[in-house]
Structure 1
Amino acid sequence: MKIIVPMAGRGSRLRPHSLTVPKPLIPVAGQPIVHRLVKDIVKVLNQPIDEIAFVLGDPAWFGDDVVTSLKELATSLGAKASIYRQDQPLGTGHAIMCAKESLSGPAVIAYADTLIRANFKLDPAADAVIWVKQVDKPEAFGVVKLNDNNEIVELVEKPKDFVSDLAVIGIYYFKDVSVLRQELQHVLDNNIVNGGEYQINDGIKGMMAKGNVFKTGQVDEWMDCGNKAVTVETNSRMLGFLKSDGEEQMIASSVKKNNATIIEPCFIGEHVVLNNATIGPNVSIGNHCIIENSSIKNSLIQTNTTIKNADLEDAMIGNHVNYDGNFKTVSIGDYSVLE
Structure 2
Amino acid sequence: MKIIVPMAGIGSRLRPHTLTVPKPLTVIAGKPIVQRLVEDIASVIDEEIEEIAFVIGSRAKGFPADTEEKLLKIAEELGAKGSVYVQEVALGTAHAIYCAKESLSGPCVVAYADTLFKADFKLDVNADGAIWVSQVENPSAFGVVKLQEGVITDFTEKPKEFVSDLAIIGIYYFKSGEKVLKEIQHLIDNDLKENGEYQLTNVLESLKQQGAKFIPGTVNAWMDCGKKDPTVDTNKQTLSFEHEAGNNLVSEDVVLQNSEIIQPCFIGENVVLRDSKIGPYVSIGANSLVNNSTIVNSLIQTNVDISNANLDNAMIGNHAKYNGEFTSVSIGDYTELT
TM-score, length basis structure 1:
0.97
Which residue of structure 1 lines up, in the alignment, with residue 128 of structure 2? 127
Q: How many equivalent residue pairs?
A: 337
1:190-201 to 2 correspondences below 5 Å: 190-201=190-201
Instruction: Kindly indicate whether residue 43 of structure 2 is the aligned counterpart of residue 43 of structure 1.
Output: yes
Shift, 1:195, TM fit: 2.3
Q: CA RMSD of the aligned region, Å?
A: 1.1
Instruction: Kindly indicate whether residue 329 of structure 2 is the aligned counterpart of residue 336 of structure 1.
Output: no
Cα displacement string for residues 169-191 of structure 1 (whole angstroms, at most 9, x for unaligned residues) = 00000001111111111111111
Shift, 1:32, TM fit: 0.4
Structure 1 Cα separation of the partners of residues 166 and 156 of structure 2: 11
1:122-161 to 2 correspondences below 5 Å: 122-147=123-148, 149-161=149-161
Structure 1 Cα separation of the partners of residues 300 and 246 of structure 2: 22
Cα displacement string for residues 299-332 of structure 1 (whole angstroms, at most 9, x for unaligned residues) = 0000111111110000000011111111111011
C-alpha distance 116-88 of structure 1, shift in aligned 2 (>3 A): same
- Runs of 5+ consecutive residues of structure 1 not aligned to the other structure: none
Letter in 2 for 1:3: I
Which residue of structure 1 lines up, in the alignment, with residue 296 of structure 2? 297
Shift, 1:63, TM fit: 3.9
Which residue of structure 2 lines up, in the alignment, with residue 106 of structure 1? 107
Which residue of structure 1 lines up, in the alignment, with residue 68 of structure 2? 67
Letter in 1 for 2:286: N
1:227-266 to 2 correspondences below 5 Å: 227-248=227-248, 250-266=249-265
Tell whether the 8 Å contact from 2:21 to 2:64 is kept in structure 1 after alignment.
no
Which residue of structure 1 lines up, in the alignment, with residue 216 of structure 2? 216
Which residue of structure 2 lines up, in the alignment, with residue 11 of structure 1? 11
Instruction: Kindly indicate whether residue 39 of structure 2 is the aligned counterpart of residue 2 of structure 1.
Output: no
% identity of equivalent residues: 56
TM-score, length basis structure 2:
0.97
Structure 2 Cα separation of the partners of residues 229 and 75 of structure 1: 31
Shift, 1:136, TM fit: 2.2
- Runs of 5+ consecutive residues of structure 2 not aligned to the other structure: none
Shift, 1:236, TM fit: 0.3
Structure 1 Cα separation of the partners of residues 328 and 113 of structure 2: 26
Shift, 1:232, TM fit: 0.1
1:72-87 to 2 correspondences below 5 Å: 72-87=73-88
Structure 2 Cα separation of the partners of residues 112 and 20 of structure 1: 17
Q: Secondary structure at the match of 1:267?
A: strand
Tell whether the 8 Å contact from 2:20 to 2:64 is kept in structure 1 after alignment.
no
- Answer with 258-267 or 151-160: which moved more: 151-160
Shift, 1:150, TM fit: 2.3
Cα displacement string for residues 95-137 of structure 1 (whole angstroms, at most 9, x for unaligned residues) = 1000001111000000111111112122355211001111222
Which residue of structure 1 lines up, in the alignment, with residue 32 of structure 2? 32
Which residue of structure 2 lines up, in the alignment, with residue 164 of structure 1? 164
Tell whether the 8 Å contact from 2:126 to 2:175 is kept in structure 1 after alignment.
no
Structure 2 Cα separation of the partners of residues 281 and 195 of structure 1: 44
Shift, 1:197, TM fit: 1.4
Which residue of structure 1 lines up, in the alignment, with residue 283 of structure 2? 284
Structure 1 Cα separation of the partners of residues 110 and 213 of structure 2: 17
Letter in 2 for 1:254: D
Which residue of structure 2 lines up, in the alignment, with residue 318 of structure 1? 317
Runs of 4+ in 1 over 6 A off after TM superposition: none
Shift, 1:58, TM fit: 0.4
Which residue of structure 2 lines up, in the alignment, with residue 97 of structure 1? 98
